[in-house]
A and B are shown apart, each in its own frame.
Chain A
Amino acid sequence: MTTRSTLTGWLLCAPALSVLAVFLLGPALVALGLSFTDWNGLSDSVSLVGLDNYADLAASEAFWDSLWINLIVAAVTVALQMGLGLLLASALASRRRSSTVYRSLIFAPQVLSIAAVGLIWSLVYDPYDGLANRVLTGVTGLDPQPWLGDPVTALPAVMLTATWFYFGFHMVLYLAGMSAIPRDYYDAVALETESRWHAFRYITLPLLREVLLVSFTIIVSGAFGHLIGLFSLMTNGGPAGSTEILGLLMTHLAFRGAQYGLASALAVVMVVLVLVLIAVPTWRIARERLEY
């Protein structure tokens, strides 16, 4: 490690790092700074309010409701996407022919935008002309539901949409991980037992650990990030606040309530929350990759 190669290394990283410094670290610092103020987004007069915004958040019912909703979204989308992804990847991995057709069909929704997905599923859930009610009444004979219009069904409906959009992506990640596992391992287990579950539990799962950690971090950070767009389009937090995830609460505080200080404090809380939730898996991935 000469001085010269150190200089070259950092110089080559500099353009990429500066983009990140301005547009990722920058807003994080702006959020931190504004979170100690009462800025309303317009006026030039700003006063420092110390930790008042954080105290206000901690005392507000809306914050705790949103946090709770968001944690449910994270837990449910992790369970559904990883569960479905593993199930389908296992079904695909053990068959050679025809599997690419299934893979393509299941993965295909990935090329749509969140906007397209939100609009498509708003129509699916339409109380009058929607596919969801058509299937519900046709198959089960139950009464049609208002779906996105009912506080009880709105959150599950959007979570189902998110799962529909992303499970194929995670399936493909697992497939790639599974294809890297040597066949011999399975042959060795086959000598011992016929149980497929056994092979899955003691070979597939442990050897997929790194892929599963990556997939977990993507879904969790998505629950606080990407999904804001989907929720904003399908329910925008309603009905009756039943789908107001933290990101929507933040935008509503700022853009409707002109409470930029409070919204910034919430942004800081969200950054910390995401970091806490993904710290352990990220650290383990980094260590495993750099140790060879």
Chain B
Amino acid sequence: MGIWRGAGRHGLLIAASVAAMGPVVWILSISLMTRREFAAEPFSLFRFLSLDNYLTLIQDPAMLGFLRNSLVVTVASVVIVVTCASLAAFALARIRFRGSVIAYAVFLGAQAMPILVLIVPLFVLVSRIGIGDSLLAVILPYAAMNMGLSVFLLRGFFRTIPSDLEDAARIDGCSWLQVIRHVMAPLIRPGIVVAALLNVIATWNEYFLAAILLPRRDLFTLPAGIAVEFSARYATNWPIVAAGVLLSAVPTIVLFIAAQDRIIEGWSRSVK
């Protein structure tokens, strides 16, 4: 009985793992084929191992432009979110102040409201306030998109730190900002790292806002570039699209392999 139960459980988990990884493995195999090989044998896994598609892509100026845009957008947006969210999270976790429930409710609502629901008015707003022709058109909306979740995640980390330390610092005459910088920041560095990781992944991967809000192809980030430009330019060349898909995911794949426990822990904590 116990054996069968165990076997059934294993079978279920293996099936789920295969279902989750199967399409990705297949795409990886395709990305190593030439167009002709793909047309002849699309399902022969890893029979062909050519890096030509990847070499073509990394020499493509458009691809390098998308990469640069993605880097700028991700770094700028994540710095803004993590800075603003840390301050707010500290206040919500540590300072008893009038109206804190309202602030809490606003962040909770912001976390729950999907910004894509507002894509059309956001497009109007962004072009009207004069940032529509630059990468700021997505950097700031991304900051808003990730703010609620980051505040909750960091608030959770702040709450786990004993308050004696900051009380002592306060009694010694430190201001709240000094408390944050000199006492709390070193202690919540792991929390900041987790928040930054989640934000990097969310921002790096965002596709639809970028495709709508960025006015020109040369401002596109990688997901928008791959989805809009590459799938049009290489419409019938699936192997090179497959290589582009995987190449654009390299940074997040590397982050996941290097820090998956932290990422998974962060995602689990962020909803608490």
Q: Does B176 contact A (CB under 8 A)?
A: yes
Is B195 located at the chain interface by the 8 A CB criterion?
no
Residues from chain B with Cβ under 8 Å of A211 in the complex: 271
- Report the Cα distance A56→B211, complex, angstroms: 28
Q: Is the CB of A267 within 8 A of B97?
A: no
A247 and B117: CB pair below 8 A?
Answer: yes
Name the A residues within 8 Å of B241 (CB-CB). 119, 123
Question: Are B224 and A6 in touch, CB under 8 angstroms?
Answer: no
Does B23 lie within 8 Å of A282, measured CB to CB? no
- Tell me which residues across on chain B come within 8 A of A193, comparing CB atoms: none
Determine whether the beta carbon of B226 is less than 8 Å from that of A228: no
Q: Tally the A-B contacts, defined by beta carbons under 8 Å.
A: 294
Residue-wise, chain B 141-167 has the 8 Å CB interface mask toward A (1 for contact) of 101100110010000000000000000
A15 to B123, CA, bound (A): 22
Task: Decide if the interface of chain A is mainly helix, strand, loop or mixed.
Answer: helix
A91 at the interface (CB under 8 A from B): yes
B140 x A168 contact (CB < 8 A): no
Please tell me if B183 contacts chain A, counting CB pairs below 8 Å: no
A205→B110 CA distance, assembly (Å): 27
Chain A CB within 10 A, most for which of B22, B118, B206: B118
Q: Which residues on the B side are within 8 Å of A134 (C-beta)?
A: 42-43
- With A9-B91, A116-B223, A274-B113: A286-B105 Cβ-Cβ less than 8 Å: yes
Question: What chain B residues lie within 8 Å of A168 (beta carbons)?
Answer: 20
- Judge whether A27 and B20 touch: CB under 8 Å: no
Instruction: Assess the B24–A120 pair: CB atoms within 8 A.
Output: yes
Query: Which of B46-54, B55-63, B185-193, B247-255 makes up part of the contact surface?
Result: B247-255
User: Quick one: given A116-B249, A131-B43, A221-B114, are A23 and B20 in contact (CB under 8 Å)?
Assistant: no
Residues of A within 8 A of B27 (CB): 120, 123
Q: Flag whether B98 is at the interface (Cβ < 8 A).
A: yes
Q: Is A79 an interface residue (CB 8 A)?
A: no
Chain B contact-residue range equals 35 or more
Most buried by B among A26, A119, A176, A224: A119
Nearest neighbor of B98 in chain A, beta-carbon distance: A6
A131 touches B26 (CB 8 A): yes
Contact A225 B205 (CB under 8 A): no
A113 to B95, CA, bound (A): 37
Q: Name B's interface SS.
A: helix
Q: Check if B242 is an interface residue, CB within 8 A of chain A.
A: yes
Q: Which residues of B contact A222 (CB under 8 A)?
A: 114
Bound CA–CA A165/B119 (angstroms) = 22
A23 vs B12: C-alpha distance when bound (angstroms):
43
Is the CB–CB distance between A16 and B85 below 8 Å?
yes
| C-alpha gap A254/B123 in the complex (Å) | 10
A286 CB, nearest partner CB in chain B, Å: 6
Q: Find out whether the CB atom of B91 lies under 8 angstroms from the CB atom of A226.
A: no
> CA A197 – CA B211 in complex, angstroms?
46
Residues of B within 8 A of A (CB): 9, 12-14, 16-17, 19-24, 26-27, 30, 38-39, 42-43, 80, 83-85, 87-88, 90-92, 95-101, 103-110, 112-125, 140-141, 143-144, 147-148, 151, 176, 201, 204-208, 211-212, 222-224, 226-227, 231, 238, 241-242, 245-246, 248-249, 252-253, 255-256, 260, 264-265, 267-269, 271-272
